[in-house]
């Protein structure tokens, strides 16, 4: 367990004893994680394990029952402009009267302050971000005319426009085509290589193993956190997913194919 | 000739409103336009935030607000009435939110519980204190634009000034907070992660809605104001896919439905506010059928095979 000794630094994300409850029922219990910069981290676990809850709680979108979260050594409110967020695609109304450019420009709002409107420089950044996800030709499209994969790319472009140092992404690969999935992975790796930290909620175990440097195995409690090759073991995955047979056979085949 | 409808008098219905009657019809049209445009702009956001029902809720809670303010202050002064109704509107919002958050009752049900209860309290108070409270039920429900003084009767009528100021206020607020309104309506999760105070945006919208509902109450009452809130946005939503244009078209819809509504009211000898709503609904129907991107005509056209277009019968 060698922890990047070359860069002793404040962790990008430090979660301490985080507990979250819905209607008095705890959904996350005493989570402790510390993540350094330049890591691409997958958050995996069964349905209802609290994966989305974890990232929402980190950003203060949900009230915490106990514990605290720090970004670059500061509370969320002071580090907000350094944090990017990609919500689940289904969380928004795609019939909303905006076009692709409008959505990507929303990524700039955090840097504009209370009253300023996005200007020429912001549009240029938005255009570059759309180019990166190969969506520039769609800039003037109404968002309801996009496929699922295209919608996800727009969300990714919006996150890029935030120019953040740490990103939370909630199931960015859900319901997208293979080309989009590959494009997203490429962008995530590029961000990682620029020294940014990316946390991705992910539900597909075989690909989780390929995509992520580190994995957070979650099932209400933190089962394990570490380098993918260290924690992607039958024992830990069984602990995470319990006795769900279909998942276990999926795990077995995932372990098998990779050998 | 026709027993059911008054005979159509071209001069009375079409010409006179712009000539002989103009001092009166002008005041009606301005008031109708101010009310419909203000409601329409606020309604755009209600619709996009899936809170169309909140318009219904807040407008109904105006009644108990007015009655309680009257019982406390003993006057029917504009400011007392205004404050009472405004507080009632805000109280409705807070109660709806509290029920929705603290229990498992969903938001639509909690709206249904809240505003009907408040309205019922208003009705009970009116009947208990009927000797002191002089409220015309018809006026409460439908309002009356025709009560406004004509333009030539010494200065601009006060209701026009009030409603005009509210319209200007709403336009200013939307211009200033466009960004926050847009992002918090489209993606509340992202908005909060960007540091936009979505709670403040929500309550701000509800306070503005209360002010609008109170100001429009006298002219259009508690029920028709809901149509004014929703029709412009619903119509323009069929015609455009950009929020800024939707605002513009809502104002156009407000102007057209008001002018058409005043003419309709004169033709039928009806009240004005309901006629405006009927005209506005007619425009909604037209937009539904003829929208360039999602109109029904597109679907009617498609199944027809090429070359078999029916010959025009004359």
pLDDT 10s digits, A76-125: 888 888 999 999 988 899 999 999 999 999 999 988 877 888 999 999 99
Q: Do B189 and A117 touch (CB under 8 A)?
A: no
Residue B38 has pLDDT above 90, yes or no: yes
Task: Quote helix, strand, coil % in chain B, to nearest 5.
Answer: 75, 0, 25
**The pair of three-digit structure tokens given for residue B171, joined into one six-digit string:** 């336009």
Q: Would you say the C-alpha torsion B148, B154, B156, B157 has a positive or negative sign?
A: negative
* Least confident window among A77-86, B39-48, B248-257: A77-86
**Domain total for chain A?**
1
- pLDDT over 90, % of chain A: 54
Task: Tell me which of B178, B189, B232 to substitute to probe the interface with A (most A C-beta atoms closer than 10 Å).
Answer: B189
Do the domain assignments include residue A4?
no
CATH number of the domain that A50 lies in? 3.40.50.300
Is residue A227 helix, strand or coil?
Answer: strand
pLDDT (average), residues B268-297:
91
Report the chain B residue with the minimal C-alpha distance to residue A162. B194
Angle at B310 between CA B309 and CA B311, to 5 degrees: 115
Q: Which band of pLDDT confidence, cut at 50, 70 and 90, is reported for residue B91?
A: very high
Q: In this structure, what are the phi and psi dihedrals at residue A25, rounded to the nearest 5 degrees?
A: -100, 120
Is-contact B61 B117, C-beta < 8 A? no
Do the domain assignments include residue A39?
yes
Is residue A22 helix, strand or coil?
Answer: strand
Q: Do B240 and A115 touch (CB under 8 A)?
A: no
Do the domain assignments include residue A215?
yes
What is the pLDDT, as a whole number, of residue B252? 97
Is-contact B190 B201, C-beta < 8 A? no
For residue B53, give Cα distances in angstroms to B101, B109, B113, B160. 17, 10, 12, 27
Report the chain A residue with the minimal C-alpha distance to residue B194. A110
Q: How far apart are CA A110 and CA A162, in angstroms?
A: 7
Q: Is A21 on the interface with B (CB under 8 A)?
A: no
Contacts of B245 in chain A (CB under 8 A): 97
Q: Do A144 and B196 touch (CB under 8 A)?
A: no
What is the pLDDT, as a whole number, of residue B309? 45
Q: Do B195 and A80 touch (CB under 8 A)?
A: yes
Residue B279 has pLDDT above 60, yes or no: yes
Q: Which band of pLDDT confidence, cut at 50, 70 and 90, is reported for residue B200?
A: very high
> Smallest Cα–Cα separation from B221: which of B157, B126, B132, B144?
B144
Reported as a single tens digit per residue, the pLDDT across A51-68 is 999 999 999 888 899 999
For residue B153, give Cα distances in angstroms to B18, B148, B156. 17, 10, 8
pLDDT (average), residues B232-247:
93
Q: Would you say the C-alpha torsion A68, A72, A73, A77 has a positive or negative sign?
A: negative
Across the interface, of B176, B189, B193, the residue whose CB is closest to A115 is B176
Residue A134 has pLDDT above 80, yes or no: yes
Q: Do B179 and A112 touch (CB under 8 A)?
A: yes
Q: Do B243 and A97 touch (CB under 8 A)?
A: yes
Q: Looking at the domain covering B10-293, what would its CATH class be?
A: mainly alpha
Report the mean per-residue pLDDT for chain A.
87
Full domain range(s) for residue A191: 13-92+164-258
Is-contact A112 A77, C-beta < 8 A? no
DSSP strand pairing (A83-86 vs A66-71):
unpaired
Residue B310 has pLDDT above 60, yes or no: no
Do the domain assignments include residue A127?
no
Contacts of A77 in chain B (CB under 8 A): 195
Reported as a single tens digit per residue, the pLDDT across B139-192 is 667 777 877 777 777 778 888 998 999 999 999 999 999 999 999 999 998 998
Q: Do B48 and A96 touch (CB under 8 A)?
A: yes
CB-CB neighbours of A176 under 10 Å: 21
């Amino acid at each position: 367990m060698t922890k990047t000794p070359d860069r002793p630094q404040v962790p990008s994300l430090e979660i301490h004893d985080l507990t979250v409850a819905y209607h008095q029922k705890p959904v996350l219990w005493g989570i402790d994680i510390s993540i350094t910069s330049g890591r691409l981290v997958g958050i995996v676990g069964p349905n209802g394990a609290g994966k989305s809850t974890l990232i929402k709680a980190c950003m203060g979108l949900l009230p915490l029952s106990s514990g605290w979260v720090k970004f670059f050594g500061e509370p969320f409110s002071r580090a907000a402009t350094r944090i990017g967020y990609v919500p689940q695609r289904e969380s928004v109304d795609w019939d909303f009267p905006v076009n692709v450019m409008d959505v990507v420009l929303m990524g700039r709002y955090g840097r504009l302050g209370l009253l300023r409107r996005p200007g020429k420089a912001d549009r240029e950044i938005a255009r570059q971000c759309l180019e990166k996800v190969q969506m520039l030709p769609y800039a003037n499209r109404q968002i309801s005319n996009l496929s699922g994969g295209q919608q996800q790319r727009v969300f990714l472009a919006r996150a890029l426009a935030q120019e953040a140092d740490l990103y939370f992404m909630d199931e960015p690969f859900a319901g997208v085509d293979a080309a989009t999935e590959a494009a997203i992975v490429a962008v995530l790796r590029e961000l990682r290589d620029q020294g940014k930290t990316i946390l991705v909620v992910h539900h597909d175990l075989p690909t989780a193993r390929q995509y992520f440097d580190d994995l957070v195995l979650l099932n209400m409690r933190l089962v394990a956190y570490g380098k993918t090759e260290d924690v992607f073991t039958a024992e830990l995955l069984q602990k995470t997913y319990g006795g769900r047979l279909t998942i276990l056979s999926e795990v077995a085949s995932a372990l098998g194919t990779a050998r | 000739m026709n027993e059911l409808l008054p005979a159509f008098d071209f001069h009375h219905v079409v010409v006179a409103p712009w000539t002989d009657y103009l001092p009166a019809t002008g005041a009606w049209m301005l008031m109708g336009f101010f009310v419909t445009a203000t409601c329409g702009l606020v309604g755009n956001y209600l619709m996009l935030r899936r809170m169309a029902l909140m318009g219904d809720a807040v407008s109904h809670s105006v009644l108990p607000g007015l009655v309680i303010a009257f019982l406390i202050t003993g006057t029917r002064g504009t400011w007392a009435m205004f404050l009472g109704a405004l507080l009632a509107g805000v109280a409705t919002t807070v109660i709806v939110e509290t029920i929705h958050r603290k229990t498992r009752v969903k938001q639509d049900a909690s709206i249904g519980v809240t505003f009907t209860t408040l309205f019922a309290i208003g009705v009970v108070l009116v009947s208990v204190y009927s000797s002191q409270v002089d409220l015309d039920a018809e006026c409460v429900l439908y309002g009356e634009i025709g009560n406004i003084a004509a333009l030539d009767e010494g200065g601009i009528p006060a209701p026009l000034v009030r409603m005009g100021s509210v319209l200007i206020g709403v336009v200013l607020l939307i211009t200033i907070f466009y960004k926050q309104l847009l992002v918090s309506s489209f993606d509340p999760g992202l908005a909060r992660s960007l540091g936009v105070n979505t709670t403040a945006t929500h309550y701000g919208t509800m306070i503005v809605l209360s002010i609008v509902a109170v100001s429009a109450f006298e002219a259009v009452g508690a029920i028709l104001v809901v149509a004014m809130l929703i029709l412009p946005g619903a119509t323009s939503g069929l015609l455009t896919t950009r929020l800024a244009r939707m605002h513009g078209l809502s104002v156009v819809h407000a102007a057209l439905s008001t002018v058409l509504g005043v003419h309709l009211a004169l033709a039928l000898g009806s009240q004005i506010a309901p006629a405006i709503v009927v005209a506005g609904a007619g425009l909604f129907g037209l937009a539904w059928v003829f929208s360039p991107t999602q109109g029904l005509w597109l679907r009617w056209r498609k199944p027809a095979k090429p070359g078999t277009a029916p010959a025009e019968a004359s």
